[in-house]
Structure 1
Amino acid sequence: MAVDSAGRVLDFGAVRFLHPEDVVFTQMLTGWRNQQLSRNLSFGTIEGRERLVTRFQESTNEYPWQWTPAHVDEFFGDLRSVKHAAQSTIRSYQAALRAFCSYVASPDYGWDRVCEQYFGTHPSQVCFGWNTAVHAQTNESDPKRRPFTRHELQAFFDRADDEVDRIATLGRKGWLPAYRDAVLFKVAYCWGLRRNEVRHLQTVDFARNPHAREFGKYGVLQVRYGKAMKGSPPKRRSVLTVFDWSTEIVADWLERGHPHMTDGLDLFPSERGALVSETALNRRFNRYCEDLGLSPGLDIHSLRRSYVTHLIESGMDALFVQHQAGHEHASTTALYTSVSSDYRVKTLRRALDSTIRDALAGMED
């Protein structure tokens, strides 16, 4: 039995296998992988979907041609009630399972004929609108997630700097990774970057901005690993430097820290030369937040949320902030904006003052 590069069954003949169930299921996954590759989906997305389908099969102890909607109810009901999976996770898993069932149930790929020959039945779709989650609103993020306040942000950066000094004073080698991560967190905030975007930065990604010469050679940051659209490569964008203190942080790292870790181009390498891992970053970030007693609603993405919020608070044009963040739509930027009470009070005050002035001018007339 074999499948082609598009996921279609080429030949299933009359060969009898000792365990045909396992062989057919394995070939289904191989064919589905080929079909997804032809759609230009990322390897990470495909591997994650394959793991979900395998996990579903192991949980139900049944094969795709035996699956029923009841299996879907039981599996995802357990994920929500027992494992407390997030709503977005449930929907993502259900989308993957639905896509797999559509693939194996389609007569275009030939799995219906294979299953009829070996098992006397055929696979069918088991995910429907009435037994899966619906994407009903634009923003479904965890309501606990929020940006830093300015006081919290300063305390966090101070804690990161103190860790570098503490380890260096003890004469341990760990000061360099601590220094790297302290700079990485600041860069993520200063240019409003996602975690994966900041991890993939290289020293050659900075350039001069002829309209802002005060930033020197760090006036523009080219982001090459922006969040990709479905089936597309990473989205590139340029982010203009807006904070005058940010250039000093990068310059100091490139002079005092980066040369001791690598002679390559990666801005934030690990001790082994690869990119710094997300796990290591999350671990250090969470430890600093715990040390400061900050709420669990903060994560590395909160640095990006803070960037958008603070630019809006400082009076930056909303369209400029949208382009800086790399959002296709203004509504997406609005979801990130958590304008502080102080900003809202000042905005209201300006509006009220304007109303009062107009009213007084009218009385004088």
Structure 2
Amino acid sequence: MENGTELTGSAGLMLVDGVAYLDPETSVFEAMLSGWDRQQRVRAVKPQVIENRVGFVRRVARVSNQYPWQWTSAEVEAFFADLTSNGRPLAMSTMRGYECVLRLFLGYVTDPRYGWPVVCEQRFGSAPQMVLHEFNSIRHVADVECRPGRRPLSYDEVQALFDTADGLIEQIRARGRKGSVTAMRNALVLKVVYAFGLRRREAWGIDLPDFRTNPHVPRFGTCGGLFVRWGKSSNGSPPKPRTVLLVPEMDWVLEPLEQWLEEIRPTLIRRSQSALLVTERGSRLARRGISEAFQAVRDAAGLDPELDLHCLRHSYVTHLVEFGYPPRFVQEQVGHRHASTTAIYTGVSDDYRNRLMQKAVASWAPELWET
């Protein structure tokens, strides 16, 4: 071996001694990518994430027409400049994500423990370098970098969304057309996502046994809580489960849930299927179908096209805060590891802030608030 190390993904394990490659540059580059793939799999990074990362590194190599041991800061800067010059500016978070991927890859191939610097120096006369540094990387100066349009919906907007979803059902029935069942399911999707503050994948993965009773609120029946099995994972961990309690302000979701479970869903199931959200053929509704349901109702309601399904989760967090629930409770409900993440989701209304101000003023200077 060219390198004695036995770390997973090392050059010594990815390259065979004594073999003369017909295309040495391409062969070493492919070995690098395969080694990086293995190194990430050892850390339990999701296969789709690895595939996307490797694909991006290939893209940089293809556009620059250079291999990693030939990259310079100028070349990488030119690549990122080209990304933003095609008339479709990328989101700041997307650009930062690309930089992070490239930094991870360069960190791997420049680490002497993996042997790639020695191999490249011996074979090609140059070694890969960390070409991203503080002077050519995006600085993180704001806590929130999401699109300004991704915001919590107001109470009126939430009501308009649900009224439109229910109205589409009546329109289809009045015209005698097919699709009323699909429209009912789409309306339920939006209501469940909002009432339990779910991410798209979490809603997609709901099975009937996931609904739980809450002995402290027996009037909620079998839907007093929801066991979320597909919570967002991090750092290679499996999905993080949690239980979301149905709060009294969201108990209106019980009626459409009951109608779906008792009247509609049984007519669609033709085989053993435990999914809550199913298609007219009885299969589990795809995640893309959940997003499409929101988009269709949003457009019919005339709401801002910048709003997406995840905005309902932002709305849930904001409205729980306005209802007066403690921050820790809200954090546990939505499954955030850090309170700062929950704070980013919160966009309380002016009415709520005014009520807080009135309460504060009345507590220390009630005469200033008397009318």
What TM-score do you get using the length of structure 1 for normalisation? 0.89
Match of 1:156 in 2: 161
Match of 1:36 in 2: 40
- CA deviations 1:143-180 (Å, max 9, x no partner) are 22211111111111122222233334555553333322
Query: What does residue range 260-271 of structure 1 map to in structure 2 within 5 Å?
Result: 260-262=267-269, 263-270=272-279
State the SS of the aligned residue for 1:134.
Answer: coil
* Pair 1:339–1:43, CA change in 2 (3 A): same
Question: In the alignment, does 2:39 pair up with 1:45?
Answer: no
Match of 2:139 in 1: 134
Question: In the alignment, does 2:302 pair up with 1:257?
Answer: no
* Pair 1:275–1:16, CA change in 2 (3 A): farther
Letter in 1 for 2:125: G
8 Å contact from structure 2 (residues 273, 283) kept in 1: no
The Cα shift of 1:275 comes to 4.4
The Cα shift of 1:195 comes to 1.5
The Cα shift of 1:6 comes to 1.6
For structure 1, which runs of at least 5 residues remain unmatched after alignment?
361-365
* Pair 1:291–1:8, CA change in 2 (3 A): same
Match of 1:283 in 2: 292
Match of 2:244 in 1: 239
* Pair 1:45–1:271, CA change in 2 (3 A): farther
Of residues 1, 5, 8, the one that matches 1:6 is 8
* Pair 1:272–1:18, CA change in 2 (3 A): farther
State the SS of the aligned residue for 2:59.
Answer: helix
8 Å contact from structure 1 (residues 5, 34) kept in 2: no
8 Å contact from structure 2 (residues 277, 284) kept in 1: yes
The Cα shift of 1:35 comes to 0.2
Greater mean deviation of Cα atoms: 89-98 or 127-136: 127-136
| RMSD over equivalenced CA pairs, Å | 2.7
Question: In the alignment, does 2:304 pair up with 1:295?
Answer: yes
8 Å contact from structure 1 (residues 101, 123) kept in 2: yes
Match of 2:201 in 1: 196
Question: In the alignment, does 2:81 pair up with 1:77?
Answer: yes
Letter in 1 for 2:231: G
Match of 1:345 in 2: 354
Match of 1:210 in 2: 215
The Cα shift of 1:191 comes to 0.6
The Cα shift of 1:284 comes to 3.4
Counterpart CA distance in 2 for 1:127 and 1:17 is 31
* Pair 1:359–1:292, CA change in 2 (3 A): closer
Counterpart CA distance in 2 for 1:273 and 1:7 is 44
8 Å contact from structure 2 (residues 9, 39) kept in 1: yes
The Cα shift of 1:347 comes to 2.5
Greater mean deviation of Cα atoms: 237-246 or 346-355: 346-355
Greater mean deviation of Cα atoms: 180-189 or 246-255: 246-255
* Pair 1:108–1:275, CA change in 2 (3 A): farther
Of residues 138, 148, 159, the one that matches 1:143 is 148
8 Å contact from structure 1 (residues 80, 86) kept in 2: no
* Pair 1:65–1:307, CA change in 2 (3 A): same
8 Å contact from structure 1 (residues 327, 333) kept in 2: yes
Match of 1:363 in 2: none
8 Å contact from structure 1 (residues 72, 131) kept in 2: no
State the SS of the aligned residue for 1:37.
Answer: helix
8 Å contact from structure 2 (residues 362, 368) kept in 1: no
Counterpart CA distance in 1 for 2:368 and 2:277 is 58
What TM-score do you get using the length of structure 2 for normalisation? 0.88
Counterpart CA distance in 1 for 2:312 and 2:325 is 18
State the SS of the aligned residue for 2:229.
Answer: strand
8 Å contact from structure 2 (residues 189, 290) kept in 1: no
Letter in 2 for 1:245: W
- CA deviations 1:262-314 (Å, max 9, x no partner) are 43112223456664334333333223222322123421111111112222222
* Alignment size in residue pairs: 361
Match of 1:101 in 2: 106
The Cα shift of 1:356 comes to 4.6
The Cα shift of 1:222 comes to 0.8
